[in-house]
Amino acid sequence: MTASTYGYFDDANKEYVVTTPFTPLPWINYLGNDGFFGLISNTSGGYSFYRDAKFRRITRYRYNNVPMDSGGRYFYINDNGTVWNPGGRPVRTELDHYECRHGMGYSKFIGRKNDIEVEQTTFIPLKDWCEVHRVTVTNQGAASKSVKLFSSLEWCLWNAEDDGANFQRNFSTGEVEVEGSAIYHKTEYRERRNHYSFFSVNAPLAGYDTDRQHFVGVYNDYSCPQAVMAGACTNSEAHGWSPVAAHQLDVELAAGESKTFVFVMGYVEVEPENKWQAPGVINKEPAQALMAKYDTAEKASAALKTLTDYWDGLLSRFTVKSGDERLDRALNIWNQYQNMVTFNMSRSASYFESGIGRGMGFRDSNQDTIGFAHMIPSAVRDRIIDLAATQQSDGSAYHQYQPLTKKGNADIGGNFNDDPMWLVLAVANYVKESGDVDFLSYVVPFEDTPEVPSTIYDHLKASFYHVVNNLGPHQLPLIGRADWNDCLNLNCFSTEPNESYQTTQRGDSDVAESLMIAGQFVLYGNEFIAIAKLLGLDSDADAAQPHVDAMVAAVKEHGWDGEWFLRAYDSQSNPIGSSNNAEGKIFIESQGFCTMAGIGFDDGKAKQALDSVEKHLACEYGVMLQQPAYSEYNPLYGEITSYPPGYKENAGIFCHNNPWIVVAEAMMGRADKALSYYTRITPAFIEHLTERHKTEPYVYSQMISGRDAYIQGEAKNSWLTGTAAWNYYAATQYILGIRPDYNGLQIDPCVDASLGDIKITRQFRDAVYHIEIKQGGGTGKGIASMTIDGVAVDGDVIDYQTFNGVHDIKVVLN
């Protein structure tokens, strides 16, 4: 257990324990695995949605509110006039004890005041579309007590964007029903919606409210809701305005007595022909069936146990015990957990992403799979199919798709020229993990040729040739709207403030080129060639190889600046990321991708590029995106220059790309540097920086402000970032070197001596490998010897054909 001012890791329970409601920013957790999701802060703020945070928002949340994080599922105690929340907010009453335990798929709040303790455990059961709150009220005093317990949440009128904008309509549409202890939210059900939501409790009510003006009051807020302060709900019925759901329970407790209540907030869909049970009365059967599954404390606890068992099972597929508990904590618990969340959410709904702006990103979602494929390969397979279905036959792809419709987002369109090759990474990684070679023959038509039975392999080939067919004057890949760096908009030339950098494109865009895509093409182009060979398509492989070779040559001839790789050529064919530039002389992305692709390992360029990264880009808080920062807006470069120096893509530490350097250093065999870069941004290693960092100490953030920023080392945009998948991939596949391949599991570590001897349990397809890695006293790169079940074997691959049961592997490092 390590501690900071705000909390500590409890590894045995796989929890982070927050010890104050007043963290530097709200520290959140994610609930839900399958359709129904919730974001929940350390004071029980946040919201819930079904599948799509924009189109099916269930509870309302106001972003960027004052004070921050006001709105959520709040429980209140009114103990003879003393009013408080077990989650420590929004009422300002100071508690005698507060803790929030964020765990795997649940959050638990324990609040205590004047001998009353409330434990609220909130989770979304594995298979059901509901949020369960198990609330236990205990009288720890010597005398009996009667207190009032209130629940409260505010409904969103489904479309979150419209809900926050179209008040002239929305203030008239709200509708509810109350029956027994259940409050039903049925706005728009009378028209085109075949779904409603409800909030119920398994106990008789002393009162309820469904109208916000009655429950909160027009000029009150959630820190002093009128009904709670008065000690009585008003049984209000919402017609329009803002429907809410609030229950009042009067709880009598003898000395030492506990009572547990189960609140369920659920979402149901109803067959259109069975919508009504009587005119104007909604069909409540499916809701009642759902409530019945959680109508006792025992049932709720059993569902919670099923959920935690599920997580224990998922996390047991890869476990490590090294000489550094921080590495183990990161890899065994929090990084894997975050990988699941980013896989589910892409970049849609966090405390920094409002859930109304973006769907599933093509590049984001492809990359997110590499941290998740070992956990649930079948889910990755399904995701890849969805992504491939938004690709065009020329290899280009919609940049995003909406999860509810699975259709490419036409407002954003495509032309981000790195997008296609990420599909190769995702597919290769999935096939290596699962052994599902047949997937390459699986038919998924291209978006524009629905009648043609194209296979996944055809998609990879289209990706490959999309790059080949879109080369610029230096035979390097055209960048299109942007490559991985969404903010390097070399064909945008915007001087109009209301224009989107992402979607505006002017001119022919047949000049600006990307060295990042060049490296990406070599890396995943080689992967495509390997796949062609795997399928026996040698002529495809032979035809592809010269394109990859030509790209390597083009990078060396036109992409090398002298001490590092250039970043791009702009629309005038002038270099970006060159020592000749006044600012933005060196960038991380091309150093990462060209070296990961193996370019320059033969002639010293790769080593020189990585040395330049260390010299110019590395700082205490991570590796900055570029240096020097741009000091002025430059329409030729676009959004990157719109940010003040040190923030976001303008010389911030954009964590997603740091693992590229970790991988490259591990390939280079420099174990100390690989580990050092890895640990600079890994939450478990930088708990001491929490005060500066501000975001959750258990997950990665997208961005940490860089050396040029007014405040350095401050993190933003936690949770939904490609950093999670990539840093996990870098640590497990390149530092620990446990790397799936088509024919088996390769063991190629690059381990710094400070990690000591290491034990790993790795489930690989149907096999379980218990792997022991012993220090060899040398470089730590690669292995000197390997035994499987005590028998020495050649090479560093555990052949799956031969070893597909439970096996003991012992390796000694070089």
Q: How far is the CB of 649 from ligand GLC (least distance, A)?
A: 5
SS3 readout for 713-748: CCEEEECCCCHHHHHHHHHHHHHCCEEEECCEEEEC
Q: Which stretch binds ligand GLC (CB under 6 A): 128-136, 360-368, 691-699, 708-716?
A: 360-368
Q: Are 285 and 730 in contact (CB under 8 A)?
A: no
Q: Are 649 and 625 in contact (CB under 8 A)?
A: yes
Beta carbons within 8 Å of 85's beta carbon, 6+ residues apart: 43, 44, 74, 75, 76, 77, 91, 111
Nearer Cβ to ligand GLC, position 458 or 486? Answer: 486
Q: Is 639 in the site for ligand GLC (CB under 6 A)?
A: no
Nearer Cβ to ligand GLC, position 570 or 649? Answer: 649
With CA atoms as reference, report the closest residue to 651 among 604, 586, 599. Answer: 586
Q: Which of 486, 570, 687, 696 binds ligand GLC (CB under 6 A)?
A: 486
Sheet holding 653-654, edge to edge: 653-654, 701-704, 715-718
Q: Are 156 and 163 in contact (CB under 8 A)?
A: yes
Nearer Cβ to ligand GLC, position 589 or 752? Answer: 589
Q: Which of 347, 585, 693, 762 binds ligand GLC (CB under 6 A)?
A: 347
In whole angstroms, what is the distance from residue 476 CA to residue 457 CA? 24
- Interaction residues for ligand GLC, span 465-484 (CB under 6 A): 484
Q: How far is the CB of 735 from ligand GLC (least distance, A)?
A: 23
Q: Are 203 and 120 in contact (CB under 8 A)?
A: no
Q: Which stretch binds ligand GLC (CB under 6 A): 273-281, 359-367, 576-584, 669-677?
A: 359-367
Six token digits for residue 87: 């989650």
Q: Is 485 in the site for ligand GLC (CB under 6 A)?
A: yes
**What element of type H or E holds 262?**
strand 258-269
Q: How far is the CB of 203 from ligand GLC (least distance, A)?
A: 43
Q: Which of 79, 486, 561, 752 is catalytic?
A: 486
Virtual torsion, Cα 211, 146, 95, 716, nearest 10 deg: -30
Q: Is 419 in the site for ligand GLC (CB under 6 A)?
A: no
Q: Is 361 in the site for ligand GLC (CB under 6 A)?
A: yes
Q: How far is the CB of 254 from ligand GLC (least distance, A)?
A: 55
Size of the site for ligand GLC (CB under 6 A): 11
Q: How far is the CB of 775 from ligand GLC (least distance, A)?
A: 37
In whole angstroms, what is the distance from residue 552 CA to residue 559 CA? 9
Q: Are 75 and 150 in contact (CB under 8 A)?
A: yes
With CA atoms as reference, report the closest residue to 570 among 488, 508, 652, 629. Answer: 488
Q: Which stretch binds ligand GLC (CB under 6 A): 75-83, 356-364, 731-739, 759-767?
A: 356-364
Find the radius of gyration of the CA atoms of the chain: 28
Nearer Cβ to ligand GLC, position 128 or 589? Answer: 589
Nearer Cβ to ligand GLC, position 435 or 480? Answer: 480
Nearer Cβ to ligand GLC, position 163 or 639? Answer: 639
Per DSSP, the residues of 146-211 read EEEEEEEEEEEEE-HHHHTT-HHHHTTT-BEEEETTEEEE-TTTTTT--EEEEEEESS--SEEEEE
- Interaction residues for ligand GLC, span 148-207 (CB under 6 A): 168
Q: How far is the CB of 347 from ligand GLC (least distance, A)?
A: 5
Per DSSP, the residues of 378-444 read HHHHHHHHHHHTTB-TTS-B-SEE-TTT--B-TTT---BTTHHHHHHHHHHHHHHHH--GGGGG-B-
Q: Which of 364, 368, 433, 708 binds ligand GLC (CB under 6 A)?
A: 364
Beta carbons within 8 Å of 619's beta carbon, 6+ residues apart: 653, 706, 707, 712
Position with the least CB separation from ligand GLC: 486
- C-alpha count within 13 angstroms, C-beta hemisphere, residue 40: 29
Q: Which of 214, 363, 432, 673 binds ligand GLC (CB under 6 A)?
A: 363
Nearer Cβ to ligand GLC, position 245 or 703? Answer: 703
Nearer Cβ to ligand GLC, position 121 or 723? Answer: 723
Q: Is 487 in the site for ligand GLC (CB under 6 A)?
A: yes
With CA atoms as reference, report the closest residue to 56 among 132, 107, 129, 126. Answer: 129
Q: Which stretch binds ligand GLC (CB under 6 A): 173-181, 185-193, 248-256, 358-366?
A: 358-366
Q: Is 330 in the site for ligand GLC (CB under 6 A)?
A: no
Q: Is 702 in the site for ligand GLC (CB under 6 A)?
A: yes
Q: Are 88 and 43 in contact (CB under 8 A)?
A: yes
Q: Which stretch binds ligand GLC (CB under 6 A): 37-45, 66-74, 320-328, 361-369?
A: 361-369
Q: How far is the CB of 722 from ligand GLC (least distance, A)?
A: 6
Active site residue 486: yes
Hey, which residues are catalytic here? Answer: 486
Interface ranges with ligand GLC (CB under 6 A): 168, 347, 361, 363-364, 484-487, 649, 702
